[in-house]
Amino acid sequence: MPITKSAKKELRKSKKRRLINKTVKLGVKKLVKDSKKLIEAKEVEKANELIRKSIKAIDKAVKKGVLKKNTGNRKKSRLMKKYNKAAGIGKKNKKE
């Protein structure tokens, strides 16, 4: 347990920050998960809208410092990779 007045205040601050960070992370996680479900269900139009929201949420989380920069980029990259594969966008076979 903290003893000094400043240590007590820091504990209160860190508890509040932890709750805020947790809600932001869970929100991002839910959006990404829902996007992946739509991609797997081949609902490309709905998935596109949700992916935009997911990317926006990831960028906000990175800006706030909840997620690290590379983590955010990795999440966005993997999500777009799945979407492009499902939508048929991307590299074509060169032998064709």
Give residue-wise pLDDT tens across range 31-66. Answer: 999 999 999 998 888 999 999 999 999 999 999 999
pLDDT (0 to 100) of residue 33: 95
pTM of the model: 0.84
**The pLDDT of residue 96 is above 60:** no
Looking at beta carbons, which pairs linking 49-52 to residues 24 or more positions away fall under 8 Å? 51/79, 51/80, 51/83
pLDDT (0 to 100) of residue 93: 56
Which domains occur in the chain, in start order? 16-85 (1.20.58.110)
Residue 80 CA to residue 78 CA, distance in Å, equals: 6
Task: Extract the tokens encoding 28.
Answer: 């991002």
**The pLDDT of residue 14 is above 90:** yes
Residue 56 CA to residue 60 CA, distance in Å, equals: 6
